[in-house]
Amino acid sequence: MTRLMEWYPIYLKEMLLFKRKLFKLGYLFSAMVVPLIYLVAFGFGLGRSVQTGRGTYLDFLIPGLVAMSSMNNSYSWVASSLNLNRLYFKTFQVLVQAPISPFSIMIGEVLAGMTKGLFASVLIMVVGFAVSTHFRVTPLFVMTLFLNCFLFACLGIVTGMVTKSHEDTSTYSNFFILPMAFFSGTFFPVDRAPTVIKWIIYIMPLTHTNMLIRSAHLDGQGVASLVVLLVYAAGFFAYGSHLIGRYSE
């Protein structure tokens, strides 16, 4: 195997484990239940009174749910499994002791997280096509989705490497991922938020994913959001690789 493909066994392992989970009904249910609850609660309930500026609320909500789902699944799968594999199952140590680079470990884990995030996103997209006649998947939508999965899988690596117990993973999720899901424009437009809150909202990467994923084309604001996402992705990737490279028990 060439150095360029050193990541593949890690990806293959994660996919073999993922395949086993897919055959369990509970997994599919758990991947879909949260976005579906939001869809019902907001899309068919609270959100009816929300003015989004253009189209129906469902047209606004579905891309946001896809972005949120891709974030949740890419992040949680990687953070949780890396944390468990490092601290409890010790299978991460097999990777560290193999003659492959930390960069390859990072790539393998991130690609596996992305695949899981994309899988969950596709499930929501199928629901989106069923309930919203205006839901469209454009090349910009697909690119943003991939970038979002990559970014949050990288963040998952960082969390999985720095947490000292499995409980810590939930804490990080409650402090960073959950607020992001609600305040980054998934459910409501962010442009009417108070100025101070808006600054905080614009720091969150999911805000820029939501803006970009809803754009019909890449305008000036879209380019700015793309740059923010790329900077976050590069930062998380570099830091995750660094943490793997510096790993020591």
Binding mask 90-129 toward another protein (x if CB under 8 A, else -) reads xx-xxxxxxxxx----------------------------
The footprint of another protein on this chain (CB under 8 A) covers a number of residues equal to 24
Residue 167 is a binding residue for another protein (CB under 8 A): no
Residue 124 gets the label, from left (phi > 0), alpha (psi -120 to 50) or beta, of alpha
Chain positions 3 to 22 lying near another protein, rule: CB under 8 A, are: 6, 8-10, 12-13, 16-17, 20
Closer to another protein at the Cβ: 61 or 157?
A: 157
Toward another protein, which CB reaches closer, 133 or 165?
165
- Cα distances (Å, whole numbers) of residue 124 to 33, 58, 63, 100: 10, 13, 9, 36
- State in angstroms the smallest separation of the CB of 80 from another protein: 14
* CB of 100 or CB of 124, closer to another protein: 100
- The angle, 0 to 180 degrees and rounded to 10, between the axes of the packed helices 195-203 and 205-213 is 90
By CB under 8 A, which span of 33-41, 85-93, 163-171, 198-206 interacts with another protein?
85-93
As measured in angstroms, the least distance from the Cβ of 170 to another protein is 22
- The burial class, CB within 10 Å (0-12 / 13-18 / 19+), for 59 is middle
Rounded CA separation 64/223 (Å): 19
Of 18 and 146, the one with the shorter C-beta distance to another protein is 18
* 30 near another protein (CB under 8 A): no
* Tokens at 228, concatenated: 């923010």
Report residue 164 CA to chain centroid gap: 22
Cα angle: 5, vertex 18, 70; to 5 degrees: 90
Binding site for another protein (CB under 8 A): 1, 6, 8-10, 12-13, 16-17, 20, 89-91, 93-101, 248-249
